[in-house]
Amino acid sequence: MDVLQTMGPLSFLAFRDALGDASGLQSAQFRELEFVLGCKQPKVLHHHPEGSGRRQRLERRLTEPSLVDHFYDFLVSQGVEIPAVLRNKSLERPNEPNEAIQHALLRLYREKTGIRMLLESMTDFDQELQEWRYRHVKVVERTIGNKSGTGGTSGAEYLKRTLSQPVFPDLWEMRNRI
């Protein structure tokens, strides 16, 4: 990302055509990261050939528990009841805040120093991911403006929609209750 930030629009356009329709949208590694984090979108699998190693890895990740699922398991070990609506949500739906989880997190945050440190580290990670997404949007705007992305998306507009999707929304929402 840092290298791209140093390029002006003309420099980027000089090699953009060589990318063809390749884009981050088709990046198996980024999709795998998103699946692990709980941002699972089965529709992106069509970017990867059936039977390919990438596709098989993504299909496996799609069915495996996400980091958010493991976080819920941890909360259960701390006496928190996870609402069924969170455990049984559709894969396509983003992680959404839940008041019951926020109340439980706030209790743990206040009562257990080690857990408070863990929650702050998770919030730091989430913030860094959101900041990376923001930088990505700005690089795209700087180099191609609002043109379509190489993967056929709406470019910067598509990326902007991903900015407000934290991995752990309850860690952000609980701060309204502190």
How many separate domains does the chain show? 1
pLDDT over 90 at 95, yes or no: no
Is 126 part of a structural domain of the chain? yes
pLDDT over 90 at 24, yes or no: no
User: Which pLDDT does position 121 carry in this prediction?
Assistant: 98
User: Which pLDDT does position 21 carry in this prediction?
Assistant: 54
User: Which pLDDT does position 7 carry in this prediction?
Assistant: 66
pLDDT over 70 at 14, yes or no: no
Q: Distance between CA atoms of 35 and 117, rounded to whole angstroms?
A: 25
User: Which pLDDT does position 117 carry in this prediction?
Assistant: 98
Question: Which range of residues forms the domain containing residue 9?
Answer: 2-17+67-177
Q: Distance between CA atoms of 145 and 99, rounded to whole angstroms?
A: 39
Is 36 part of a structural domain of the chain? no
pLDDT, the chain, mean? 85
* 120 pLDDT tier (thresholds 50, 70, 90): very high
User: Which pLDDT does position 76 carry in this prediction?
Assistant: 98
Q: Distance between CA atoms of 53 and 33, rounded to whole angstroms?
A: 16
pLDDT over 90 at 136, yes or no: no
* Between residues 91 and 22, the one the model is more confident about: 91
Is 149 part of a structural domain of the chain? yes
User: Which pLDDT does position 144 carry in this prediction?
Assistant: 78
CATH of the domain at 109: 1.20.58.480
Instruction: For residue range 59-93, list pLDDT tens digits in order.
Output: 999 999 999 999 999 999 999 999 999 988 887 78
Is 13 part of a structural domain of the chain? yes
In one letter, which amino acid is 22?
A
Write the burial class of residue 90 (CB in 10 Å: 0-12 exposed, 13-18 middle, 19+ buried).
Answer: exposed
Is 89 part of a structural domain of the chain? yes
Is 41 part of a structural domain of the chain? no
Is 42 part of a structural domain of the chain? no
Q: Distance between CA atoms of 54 and 19, rounded to whole angstroms?
A: 19
DSSP 96: -
* 41 pLDDT tier (thresholds 50, 70, 90): confident
- Average the pLDDT over 137-141 and give the result: 84
Is 154 part of a structural domain of the chain? yes
Decide if 105 contacts 54 (C-beta within 8 A). Answer: no
Q: Distance between CA atoms of 74 and 79, rounded to whole angstroms?
A: 9
